[in-house]
Amino acid sequence: MFEKILIANRGEIAVRIIRACREMGIKTLAVFSEADATSMHVQLADEAICIGPAVSANSYLKIDRIISAAEVGDVDAIHPGFGFLAENAHFAEVCENCNIKFIGPRSSVIKMMGDKSVAKEAARKAGAPVVPGSDGPVANEQDAVKLAKKIGYPVIIKAVAGGGGRGMRIAHNDVSLVKGFHTARTEAERAFSNAAVYIEKYIELPRHIEVQIIGDQRGKVLHLFERECSIQRRHQKLVEESPSPALDESLRKHITKAAVRIAEKVEYTNAGTIEFLLDAKGNFYFMEMNTRIQVEHPVTEEAVGIDIVKEQIRIAAGEPLPYEQRDIRIMRHAIECRINAEDPANDFRPSPGKIEFYYCPGGPGVRVDSHCYAGYTIPPTYDSMIAKVITYGTDRRAAIDRMSRALSEFAIQGVKTTIPLQRAIMQDPDFRRGRYSTGFIDHFLGLKQIEMPDSAA
């Protein structure tokens, strides 16, 4: 097993990884930017090294500085968390070349699955249904129009190197397609330094279902069932749950089997997620694979009782998965709310600043993953997530009621948060019945005037 791990990340996920390491008796080295000197991950890690200024291009994304820190700190492995360098194949390759274990899949697999059109091809070869669309990047607007005619409107234009919902445009006709094609390319170039886009059929009001996969270095691939992440605003997830209320046993079997087959086909190792869209008729389509730990991994952990971060570390250290598929069961229902420092009453404008008062919920069935504390200042430089509240219970209703209760206890003053919105969602009859799609939030915000207290608490 590793003696010391460098955590190439910040915020809540860095804290999450430190917690796993501490329980496993592994030392941790945090890296941090000048904006994060007082951050929780720096305080909790055994050692910490400053790697540059606030702007992530000069710190958390700076491969040479992270590798230097790893060498100075004499670590055996690097955990990249999510975001930043987590899906950067070059970074994984540099780690491999420096003899530092990258806690994730091989760089070649990251590269392959990071190209969304190559990933779709891999899924197709594994026999999984994929969303109809272009077989690769679309070169120009004429080709785009031709293809859209063939697959039928509406279509969605997506960045080949996409992520975080950026670089996507929906088009209902030739005119909006030509316009969207150019804006999507510009946006993709700006966000990912890669303008390539591809086109696929836009599935109307789908549900977002993803399957958690783990694979060891001996070729064993298992699934930890599914998560549903359809409660999204602008393609950003706000509420996630496991299991999905949309799947019956037969559909669950099919979708998890398809996911395992895709992972096996690419000889996947470590933790990963295979994302699908489910249409109203019960057809599911492969969308993409994320070759890293995901923000919403705790709902799976609480539903099946497996610590995914510890598994990632054990797998990277060469240990075999000590159980079989039949040993993994859905033991209970879990829900997560991502609490962001944003103002839902003001078009979700980011609300960085000092947290004046912070009281986080507890009690039975509640888990809070966060790096925040009273007196902490949320820097404007990074993402706006302040905490993840996860609740679980014997069934879905118990988990939802518990979430309502937990959110009612969560008191954060000084910054605006999404808590009032999530509290309202927990009371929504359609949500409670499990009847929702990715269109839920737009509909919800359009129909209801949610009461937003001045200081969100």
Residues that bind ligand ADP (CB under 6 A): 131, 156, 162-166, 200-203, 206, 208, 232, 235, 275, 277, 287-288, 438
* Cβ closest to ligand ADP, residue 184 vs residue 415: 184
Question: Closest distance between ligand ADP and the C-beta of residue 155, in Å?
Answer: 8
* Cβ closest to ligand ADP, residue 76 vs residue 288: 288
* Cβ closest to ligand ADP, residue 66 vs residue 184: 184
Are 200 and 156 contacting, i.e. CB atoms less than 8 angstroms apart?
yes
Which residue, among 274, 143, 126, 133, has the nearest Cα to 203 in the 3D structure? Answer: 133
Question: Closest distance between ligand ADP and the C-beta of residue 149, in Å?
Answer: 17
d(Cα 87, Cα 91) in Å, to the nearest integer? 8
Question: Closest distance between ligand ADP and the C-beta of residue 210, in Å?
Answer: 9
* Cβ closest to ligand ADP, residue 200 vs residue 428: 200
Element containing residue 52 per DSSP (H, E) = strand 47-52
d(Cα 401, Cα 398) in Å, to the nearest integer? 5
* Cβ closest to ligand ADP, residue 295 vs residue 403: 295
CB within 8 A of 146, min separation 6: which ones? none
Could you tell me the two tokens for 274?
């295979």
Q: Is 412 helix (H, G, I), strand (E, B) or coil?
A: strand
d(Cα 85, Cα 102) in Å, to the nearest integer? 11
DSSP letter (8 states) at residue 34: G
Question: Closest distance between ligand ADP and the C-beta of residue 35, in Å?
Answer: 25
| Residue 292 annotated in active site | yes
Are 414 and 386 contacting, i.e. CB atoms less than 8 angstroms apart?
no
Strand partners, 392: 334
Question: Closest distance between ligand ADP and the C-beta of residue 182, in Å?
Answer: 19
Active-site residue, from 16, 166, 227, 292: 292
CB within 8 A of 388, min separation 6: which ones? 12, 295, 296, 298, 336, 337, 338, 339, 368, 369, 370
Which residue, among 79, 76, 82, has the nearest Cα to 31 in the 3D structure? Answer: 79
* Cβ closest to ligand ADP, residue 202 vs residue 431: 202
The conformational region for residue 233 under phi > 0 = left, psi -120 to 50 = alpha, else beta, is beta
CA 421 to chain centre: 20
Work out the burial of residue 196: count CB atoms within 10 Å of its CB; fewer than 13 is exposed, 13-18 middle, 19 or more buried: buried
Q: Are strands 77-79 and 4-7 parallel, antiparallel or unpaired?
A: parallel
Question: Closest distance between ligand ADP and the C-beta of residue 87, in Å?
Answer: 10
Question: Closest distance between ligand ADP and the C-beta of residue 288, in Å?
Answer: 5
Strand partners, 170: 156
Question: Closest distance between ligand ADP and the C-beta of residue 205, in Å?
Answer: 8
H-only helix segments in 105-197: 107-114, 116-125, 141-151, 174-192
d(Cα 157, Cα 143) in Å, to the nearest integer? 13
* Cβ closest to ligand ADP, residue 131 vs residue 246: 131
Q: Are strands 27-33 and 47-52 parallel, antiparallel or unpaired?
A: parallel
Main-chain dihedrals φ then ψ at residue 209, nearest 5 degrees: -120, 130
The conformational region for residue 88 under phi > 0 = left, psi -120 to 50 = alpha, else beta, is beta
* Cβ closest to ligand ADP, residue 232 vs residue 340: 232
* Cβ closest to ligand ADP, residue 33 vs residue 117: 117
Question: Closest distance between ligand ADP and the C-beta of residue 42, in Å?
Answer: 29
Catalytic residues: 292
